Structure 1
Amino acid sequence: MAGNENAVGKSKDEKKNGKERKSLLALKSILSFNWKKCNGDSEGAATTPPYQPLPFLSPLANSVVSRSCKILQVEIEELQHQFDSDLPDDVKQPLVYARNFLEFCSFQALQVATDRPDYLSDKDFRRLMFDMMLAWEAPGVGNQMSSQETATSDNREVEDEDSWSLFYSDSTNMAVQVDDKKTVGADSFARIAPACAIVAEIITVHNLFDVLTSSSGHRLHFLIYDKYLRSLEKVIKAVLNFNGLQMVSNLSLAGEETMLEVDGTVPTQPVLEHIGISAWPGRLTLTNYALYFESGMGLYDKAVRYDLASDLKQIIKPELTGPLGARLFDKAVMYKSSSMVDPVYFEFPEFKGSSRRDYWLDICLEIFHVHNFARKYNLKEGQQSEALARAVLGIYRYRAVREAFKVSCSSYKTLLCFNLAESLPRGDAILETLSSRLKLMKSSGNRRGLLSSPSTRRQVIHPVSRVSLCRLGIISCKEVDLIGEATTLVGDVFVGEVNPLENAVKQSIKNIGRAEAAQATVDQVKVEGIDTNLAVMQGLLFPLIKPISHLQLLASWKDPWKSMLFIVFVSYAIIRGWIKYALPVMLVVLAVVMFWHRNVRKRQPLEPLKIIAPPPKNAVEQLLILQEAISQLEALIQSGNIILLKVRALILAVLPQATDRTALLLVIVSLAFAFVPLKYLILLAFLESFTSNMPLRKMSSERDLRRVREWWIRIPAAPVQLMKPDDKKTKE
Structure 2
Amino acid sequence: MYREEPVYFEFPEFKGNSRRDYWLDICLEILRAHRFIRKNNFNKIQQSEVLARAVLGIFRYRAIREAFHTCSSQYKTLLAFNLAESLPKGDIILETLSSRLALLSVGGAQHDMTESLHTKQKLKLSPVAILTLGQLGFNSQKESNLGAGVEVVGDICVGETNLLEIAVKKSISDTGRVEAAQATVNQVKVEGIDTNLAVMKELLFHHIAIARHIEHFASWEDPFKSTMFLMLTTLVILRGWIRYVLASISVFLAVCMLWSRLFNRGKPLEPIRIILPPNKNAVEQLLTLQEAISKFEALIQDGNIILLKIRALLFAALPPATDKVALLLVLMAAVFVFVPPRYIILLVYLEAFTRELPYRKESSDKLLRRAREWWFRIPAAPVQLIKNEEKRKKKR
State the TM-score, normalized to the length of structure 2.
0.90
- Distance in 1 (alpha carbons) for counterparts of 2:201 and 2:161: 52
Other-structure match for 1:478: 142
- Bigger relative contact order, structure 1 or 2 (CA pairs below 8 A, ≥6 apart): 2
Identity %: 57
Q: Is the 8 A contact 2:109 2:152 kept in 1?
A: no
Give the aligned CA root-mean-square deviation in angstroms.
Answer: 2.7
Pick the structure with greater CA Rg.
1
What do the CA deviations read for 1:615-674 (whole angstroms, capped 9, x no partner)? 222322222222211111111111100000000000000000000001111111111111
- Distance in 2 (alpha carbons) for counterparts of 1:566 and 1:478: 82
C-alpha deviation, 1:609, in angstroms:
1.2
Other-structure match for 2:251: 588
Query: How is 1:179-578 mapped onto 2 (pairs within 5 angstroms)?
Result: 257=6, 262-264=11-13, 269=14, 350=16, 354-410=17-73, 414-444=77-107, 448-449=110-111, 455=117, 456-458=119-121, 459-485=123-149, 487=151, 489=153, 491-493=154-156, 499-578=162-241
- Distance in 2 (alpha carbons) for counterparts of 1:621 and 1:356: 39
Task: For 1:441, give the aligned amino acid.
Answer: L
Other-structure match for 2:318: 655
- Distance in 2 (alpha carbons) for counterparts of 1:699 and 1:646: 28
- Distance in 1 (alpha carbons) for counterparts of 2:9 and 2:321: 66
Other-structure match for 1:47: none
1:615 aligns with 2:267: no
Q: Is the 8 A contact 2:61 2:76 kept in 1?
A: no
Query: How is 1:661-680 mapped onto 2 (pairs within 5 angstroms)?
Result: 661-680=324-343
- Distance in 2 (alpha carbons) for counterparts of 1:462 and 1:729: 59
Q: SS of the residue aligned with 2:234?
A: helix
What do the CA deviations read for 1:240-283 (whole angstroms, capped 9, x no partner)? xxxxxxxxxxxxxx99557586422xxxx4xxxxxxxxxxxxxx
Give the strand-richer structure, 1 or 2: 1
Query: How is 1:640-719 mapped onto 2 (pairs within 5 angstroms)?
Result: 640-719=303-382
C-alpha deviation, 1:531, in angstroms:
1.4
C-alpha deviation, 1:363, in angstroms:
2.0
Q: Cα–Cα, structure 1 residues 461 and 396, in superposed 2: closer, same or farther, change >3 Å?
A: same
What do the CA deviations read for 1:339-396 (whole angstroms, capped 9, x no partner)? xxxxxxxxxx53xxx3223223322322232222223323233312321221122122
Q: Is the 8 A contact 2:106 2:146 kept in 1?
A: no
Task: For 1:371, give the aligned amino acid.
Answer: H
Q: SS of the residue aligned with 1:481?
A: helix
Task: For 1:464, give the aligned amino acid.
Answer: V
Task: For 1:472, give the aligned amino acid.
Answer: L
Q: SS of the residue aligned with 1:501?
A: helix
- Distance in 2 (alpha carbons) for counterparts of 1:649 and 1:730: 35
What do the CA deviations read for 1:690-724 (whole angstroms, capped 9, x no partner)? 01011111111111100000000000000111112
- Distance in 2 (alpha carbons) for counterparts of 1:463 and 1:480: 12
- Distance in 2 (alpha carbons) for counterparts of 1:646 and 1:411: 56
- Distance in 2 (alpha carbons) for counterparts of 1:722 and 1:601: 61
C-alpha deviation, 1:397, in angstroms:
1.3
C-alpha deviation, 1:480, in angstroms:
4.7
Query: How is 1:35-114 mapped onto 2 (pairs within 5 angstroms)?
Result: none
Q: Is the 8 A contact 1:411 1:423 kept in 2?
A: no
C-alpha deviation, 1:482, in angstroms:
3.4
- Distance in 2 (alpha carbons) for counterparts of 1:505 and 1:730: 53
State the TM-score, normalized to the length of structure 1.
0.50
Other-structure match for 1:723: 386
Task: For 1:426, give the aligned amino acid.
Answer: K
C-alpha deviation, 1:520, in angstroms:
0.6
Q: SS of the residue aligned with 2:269?
A: coil
Q: Cα–Cα, structure 1 residues 506 and 579, in superposed 2: closer, same or farther, change >3 Å?
A: closer
